[in-house]
Copies of this chain bind each other. A is one copy, B any other.
Amino acid sequence: MQRIINRPDYVVEDMLKGFLKAHSDLVVATSNSRVVRAVGDTEGRVGVVTGGGSGHKPAFIGYLGRGMVDAVAVGEVFSSPTAGAFLDAFREANGGKGVACLYGNYSGDNMNVKLAMKMAKREGIEIRTVVANDDVASAPKGQSEKRRGVAGEILMWKVGGAKAASGATLDEVIAVAQKAIDQTKSIGIGLSPCTLPAVGHPNFEIQEGTMEVGIGHHGEPGIAVHTLESANVMAEKMLDVILPDQPFSEGDEVAVLVSGLGATPVMELYILFGEVEEKLKEKGIRISRSYVGNYFTSLEMMGVTLTLMKLDDELKACLDAEADTVGLKSFPGKHSV
């Protein structure tokens, strides 16, 4: 295990120490060592909270900041944060107008959020949730409540965060975040496993010369193991699953997010994006916002997730709104067209 760590059981603590120091312009520690919040307050507006296991940098804490997320509950590597952390994140993000908890569909997160909401309610904090389920490979079309949340969460946070920053009500924030994730579909391809520092060896395998289509963000098995193919064929296989699911069709305008899983050279993410762009163009689907990079990773896994969001004017405005976070900065009026 060729890693830059001190104590394998304390990587999250050690990481947070560095993160808080490095980004003191954007984030601050709170009384709960597993809750980080954005600088500035949410007084008089809706607060946005998320949370999840560690090991997905820049997710989750990298999206803290103006125009995106206000407080994050931080879990162990690949493990849900505690209910207590979610509760404290709710308290931190509460500015009197309620809190939108926008998180991913994993059973631990679901339980901890629900438990924290119960406690928060007793304190009079109004919490509503949107549960991201953009990973189309994680359950069949009819069973979207079983689908996991993956890189599409970033677009959900961006949209919900922009709406909250605009002074919208909790209902409005929830509605647009729900729309964002409803119109977003993702799929991953895994090319190598990853190793949790505390475990010391990979806990799943991907044979050299094969690729796992539909892999999850923690190595959850995909829908098929294929012989390794070219970027062109990968793009095709991914689109073949995503496009009919939404469906995305001729005349649609979409945002495309290609995220590396950690160890794949960014050069290759662009190669894949180039293939996706070509295929979408052939189908008459227009990409008007694009994000390519390591946006939501899985430690040092090799592989990629492809995310498409069907756009409308409201979603576009929210994507384009100014934001200043570690993982995503956008200037007003600046975007790919």
B-contacting residues of A (Cβ < 8 Å)? 2-7, 11, 14-19, 21-25, 54-55, 57-58, 77, 189, 191-192, 206, 208, 211, 228, 230-232, 234, 258, 262-275, 277, 287, 290-294, 297, 299-300, 302, 304, 324, 326, 329-331, 334-337
Contacts and interface: CB of A to CB of B under 8 A. Distances in A.
A265 B299 contact: yes
> Chain A binding site: helix, strand, loop or mixed by DSSP?
mixed
B3 A270 contact: no
Contacts of A55: 265, 267
A48 to B, nearest CB: 20
Contacts of A274: 14-15, 17-19, 21
B324 A263 contact: no
Nearest to A289: B25
B290 A21 contact: yes
Given A22-B270, A267-B57, A335-B25, A191 B17 contact: no
A260 to B, nearest CB: 9
A177 B300 CA distance: 35
A290 to B, nearest CB: 4
Given A6-B230, A15-B267, A16-B270, 8 more contacts: A2-B211, A6-B275, A17-B270, A18-B269, A19-B273, A19-B292, A22-B270, A25-B337
The 5 A-B residue pairs with the shortest CB-CB distance in the complex, in nearest-first order: A18-B274, A263-B263, A18-B270, A57-B266, A2-B191
A336 to B, nearest CB: 5
A277 B21 contact: yes
28 contacts: A2-B191, A2-B206, A2-B208, A2-B211, A2-B228, A2-B302, A4-B234, A4-B272, A4-B304, A5-B231, A6-B231, A6-B275, A7-B230, A11-B271, A15-B267, A17-B274, A18-B274, A18-B292, A19-B274, A22-B258, A22-B292, A23-B292, A24-B336, A263-B263, A263-B300, A265-B300, A294-B294, A324-B331
Given A192-B2, A300-B264, A336 B23 contact: yes
A61 to B, nearest CB: 10
B300 A15 contact: no
A262 B263 CA distance: 6
Contacts of A54: 267
A18 B233 CA distance: 15
Nearest to A10: B271
Contacts of A302: 2-3, 263, 300
